[in-house]
Amino acid sequence: MIVDDSAVVRQVVRQALSADPGIEVISAASDPLFALEHMKRQWPDVIVLDIEMPRMDGLTFLRKLMAEHPTPVVICSSLAASGSDAAMNALAAGAVSIITKPTSGLKQFLEDSSNDIVQAVKAAARANIRRLARPAAGTPAAAPRPRLSADAVIPATPAGGLGSGAGMVRTTERFVAIGTSTGGTQALEAVLTRLPAVAPPIVIVQHMPERFTAMFAERLNGLCAIEVREARHGDRITPGRALIAPGGKHMMVTRSGAQYTVEVVDGPLVNRHRPSVDVLFRSCAKFAGRNATGIIMTGMGDDGARGLREMHDTGATTYAEDESTCVVFGMPKEAIRLGGVDHVLPLDRIPEAIMQSVRG
């Protein structure tokens, strides 16, 4: 179902979705109240929802859905493009993903982005509804394009070769690397808010568009005992701090003496993502080895699975979130399949694993 007060948006989005044989648009409504009338007759599998609408705004409608009848929702809003925190509020309320639309050139934008909309709806349809009842969020899948591996940003090092973390001596400088995607914003909040101020250093890749990561980090910083912020090139990885890779940039860990810092760099999409979890995890394998702990959590696709295996092979302890708590079990499932996971844990046990990582 499409819910948007713009007739142009309803028309173009309906055309884009209806062109895919796997999607049926059952209705399009100009506001949530009209939508609720339609939904009494047939409940949709996914809702594409605007935020600014008459009679009832999209955020109010979203919260009502999550409280009464959890349903995957893709937000399609111009508020995200303007930098408003309304988009972050939508993710916090339970939206699965966000499509940002401009305030001008709307029809052309929607036509150009039709594949993004289709892929976002398909990703939302696979979301774990039980987990959405506890608000979850993520980002839309990218349009199909040539699929590149982490080699495009950071070259692999032969096992045991010069620069490989496999022979890295265990030091007191240890840190945790986390990768996540669809459902990750709420999963990260659940984990980071349970950590004490003395938690080990954490570096995070969460698949999010530009502008969102800074808002997301700022929101978490206000909720957590640790410092949480968007990473800047050259930032030191220190205890009590979590660095989140900026949207639209890759983040890598590097080592100078006994200290670890992050590099924030441009580069092509890796596994159709930028930032990519595989890029972060490979850098951890290359420069930290057993001094790092790798954690892969909820997310669609397989970004991070190969990188986690590389971390595992260089001596890092690795974890995957259990299917029972994932919104989408894609990334953890693939990491487990590749043999790169030492332990599988539900979400509520991951904070304990993070704290244990500096004691082992």
- Tell me the catalytic residues: 181, 207, 303
Cα 266 to Cα 279: distance, rounded to the nearest angstrom: 12
Q: List the one residue out of 330, 251, 272 whose CA is nearest residue 297.
A: 330
* Per-residue b or e along 12-43, where b marks 16 or more CB atoms closer than 10 Å to that residue's CB: bbeebbeebeebebebbbbbbebbeebbeeee
Cα separation, 140 vs 149, in Å, equals 20
- Are 65 and 73 within 8 A, CB to CB? yes
Tokens 């995200």, located at residue: 80
Could you give the CA distance from residue 63 to residue 40 in angstroms, rounded to a whole number?
18
Q: How far apart are CA 49 and CA 32, in angstroms?
A: 9
H/E stretch holding 250 reads strand 250-256
Copy the structure tokens of residue 166: 């496999």
Mode of pairing for the β-strands spanning 259-265 and 250-256: antiparallel
Token pair, residue 102, equals 């401009």
Contact status, residue 91 vs residue 98, Cβ threshold 8 Å? yes
Indicate the helix (H) or strand (E) that contains 58. Answer: helix 58-68
Q: Tell me how crowded residue 144 is: count the other CB atoms within 10 A of its CB.
A: 9
Length of the chain: 360
The DSSP string of 164-184 is: -GGGPPP-S--EEEEEE-TTH
